[in-house]
Amino acid sequence: MKTALEPEIEAPEVEELDTPFRRRTALAVALLALFGGIVLFASGVAGGNEEATSASAQRQSVIAMTRSSAVSVEYNEQLQSYLGVSSLRHRANITQTWDDLLGLTAQGDLAKGWDSAASDLANSSDLAGGGKYANNPALLAADMETGPDLATLRQQGADETAAAWGQMRRLELGVVTLVAVALSLLGLSLTVSPGIRRYLVAPAVLIVIVSVAGFAWVATRPVPHTSAAAMNAVVQGDRLAQLKEFPGAIRAYDRALAAQPGYPAALEQLAVAVVQAGAPPQTTGQYLMSMSTPTAYRAAISDLTRTLGGTGNDYVPLVNLGAFYFHVRDYAESAAMSQRAIQLNPGPPLPWMNLGLALLGEGNAPAAAQTYRHAITLIVRYPNPGYRKELFSAALTTLQALVAQEPGRAALIQRTKAAIVAAESKTLIPRAVPAGHATISGLKVQASWPSLNLSFSYANVPNGARLAAIVYFRPPGQSSWLQPNGLDYFSKMDLASSGSAAWRLVDQSCPAAGDYRVEIYNDGHLLAAVTAAAPRPPVSTVLYEDPFDAVTLCRPASWTVTAPGPIDLTAPGHRTSMSVQVVPMPPEPPKTTVGAVVREVLERMVTVVSGRAAPVTEHSWTVGGQAGFGTYVSLPGGEQGLVWAYVSRGGFVHAVELKYPAGQLGLLTTVMTNMQFNE
């Protein structure tokens, strides 16, 4: 019974513990926790794979560096051994030649000793043996580089795979975070009234849907793995490109892309090979500039564009795209690509040069001038004179290409060319006397390979002034001029202030049809220019240089050459041949006068060639730029021979022997004309 003093207590309302909502929420939480565990497990697997592939990438990096270092050491050892063996063989050749041509019979036995020593050491170098690498350092280097090249590609592939696993791990951890947020919202929904509950449940459901969809997308994404077949094909392409066999290199890169479409390494190298394959022969030795066809440039642009973002370093593709877009007259894209390359690495001058070209192409003279000033500053800072000269040559060649593309801007482009010539002149001749009133007239050029003979009259050129001759070459069918690296002449004048001068420049490439253009500058002032046709050679030739005999010659591409020893050239069919020997005079020559030595050499050569002694009738002939004496020789089988000899002021005996079908001297005349003795 209640009293008046007892308070009245009302029992609180208690929510049911077992309701449909709570049961559904509990089930959802359980499923969501299970899903989160699965995602977390997948993230752990991705993390483990990331660590494993990262370790593999590190191993491949170490392997690549180790192999590259080992290849460098081994190649240099092979080359040193080869030079040692070649030196012994050269010594044997000299003493044997003294025996054969000068009658010093005691030297024949000495030659056998030198030759025996060379044979004993020949096994120390593949270059000195008789295998496929004999006297072919370029082939040996290309084959030796395949190992480090493959290791580098494997490292890049492992890095790409590790990066993909890392991205997957991070995305899956993001999904786990979203699952945790959804669980928190569902838990909070149990503590609030039904009216507020929906504001927590709805976002939780949305987050769960996003999480499930996101995990499905991440889990089904393929992790990139570089195909072994693609890497091997790229290595073969790189090897062929190093040997300048560009059509074969292109086929190899195509095989790589067939094995793995979109492979960045193959696309990047394919673009360069396509451009090189379309380049004229005069530019294949120039490693900083390209001169090819519009079709090749567009194909290269298509390939390189697909590589952007596909590797960890886009710098080289961006630099190349800056150059290639310029050659198809898309100056805006050229400038954009060059600026992106500069943002990645502002130090090298190449992207600055590309940017300057693009700005000139657009007609933006102030910005172009500022850009080129900066590029020239970077070029001048290079300590390597060979690389610096290549940069200057590339700058002038590409400016000539711009003149051909935009003739209306020729005056603006000429000012930029003059600034580049002035910078190179000051680099080579730091101190000089000003010659602001210098003039040149009557400039003439006579092209007779390998010589370019310049003659001109000059006035107001004080003693100590700088003059520079820049030579360009234009192959047939090309609208633009090339500035071959090294085909120039920089002089600090030491003549009277007015008069005439003659300069001889040497073209180091083999003769080819086309035109020469010569420009003479005083610092940044163009004083004179002239164009002359290059004599058309009767056949395409390739360069051969012998460092021991100091002989440079251009042989028909189909002729074979064997050396060291006598340099023997043989035409297909073996009926036409040429042999060249250069040896120093012996310490005690058998004859006391140069004329007597030449006659002795000719008589012995006639005996060797014809197999019998015969009287010699000397004729004066110039071979390799040297005025010597020779005689014809009748040979069995309707063939004919010619022997020639010369003794230089430096005391070297030069001997040339020809064999050919009677009356068919043919290409031998071209080979002899194009030969140089470089003692």
For CA atoms 79, 80, 85, 86, give the dihedral sign. positive
Residues contacting 202, CB < 8 A, separation 6+: none
- Give Cα separations from 141 to 78, 127, 136, 273 (angstroms): 10, 11, 9, 19
Q: How many residues in total does the chain contain? A: 679
Read off the pLDDT of each residue in 416-432 and give the average, rounded to a whole number.
95
Read off the pLDDT of each residue in 198-202 and give the average, rounded to a whole number.
83
Which residue type is seen at 360?
L
Q: pLDDT by residue (tens digit) across 328-340?
A: 999 999 999 999 9
CATH 1.25.40.10 for domain 232-425, yes or no, is yes
Residue 450: asked if its preceding bond is cis (omega within 30°), the reply is: yes
The DSSP symbol for 494 reads -
Of 678 and 669, which is predicted with more confidence?
A: 669
pLDDT of residue 288: 61
According to CATH, what is the number of the domain 541-677?
Answer: 3.40.1000.10
Model confidence at 414, pLDDT cuts 50, 70, 90, reads very high
Residue 5 has pLDDT above 60, yes or no: no
Model confidence at 281, pLDDT cuts 50, 70, 90, reads low
- What percent of the chain lies above the pLDDT cut of 70? 93
pLDDT of residue 349: 94
Most confident by average pLDDT, 125-139, 258-272, 532-546: 258-272
Q: 184: part of which helix (H) or strand (E)?
A: helix 146-189
Longest dimension (CA), the chain: 163
- Residue entry with tokens 């192959």: 475
DSSP secondary structure, 106-123, as one string: HHHHHHHHHHHHHHHHGG
According to CATH, what is the number of the domain 437-534?
Answer: 2.60.40.10
pLDDT of residue 14: 46
Report the 10 Å Cβ neighbour count for 531.
Answer: 12
Q: Residue 477: left (phi > 0), alpha (psi -120 to 50), or beta?
A: left
pLDDT of residue 479: 83
> Shortest CA distance to 451 belongs to which of 675, 297, 227?
675
Q: Is 316 exposed, middle or buried (0-12, 13-18, 19+ CB in 10 A)?
A: middle
DSSP secondary structure, 595-646, as one string: HHHHHHHHHHHHHHHHSS------EEEEETTEEEEEEEEEETTTEEEEEEEE
Report the 10 Å Cβ neighbour count for 604.
Answer: 20
Contact 467, 491 (CB under 8 A): yes
Q: pLDDT by residue (tens digit) across 380-408?
A: 998 888 889 999 999 999 999 999 999 99
Residues contacting 441, CB < 8 A, separation 6+: 456, 457, 458, 459, 528
DSSP, collapsed to helix, strand or coil, labels residue 377 as: helix
Q: How far apart are alpha carbons 559 and 318 in whole angstroms? A: 42
Q: Which two tokens stand for residue 315?
A: 């710098």
Residues contacting 344, CB < 8 A, separation 6+: 313, 314, 315, 318
Contact 89, 119 (CB under 8 A): no
Q: In terms of DSSP bridges, do strands 577-584 and 652-661 run parallel, antiparallel, or are they unpaired?
A: antiparallel
**What predicted TM-score, i.e. pTM, was given to this entire model?**
0.80
Of 38-52, 224-238, 588-602, 634-648, minimum mean pLDDT range: 588-602
Model confidence at 4, pLDDT cuts 50, 70, 90, reads low
Q: How far apart are alpha carbons 563 and 539 in whole angstroms? A: 23
Q: pLDDT by residue (tens digit) across 105-140?
A: 777 778 788 778 877 777 778 888 778 888 788 899
Of 416 and 176, which is predicted with more confidence?
A: 416
Read off the pLDDT of each residue in 470-495 and give the average, rounded to a whole number.
89
Model confidence at 461, pLDDT cuts 50, 70, 90, reads very high
Q: 55: part of which helix (H) or strand (E)?
A: helix 20-102
pLDDT of residue 639: 84
pLDDT of residue 189: 80
Q: What is the mean pLDDT of the chain?
A: 86
> Shortest CA distance to 98 belongs to which of 111, 116, 80, 84?
111
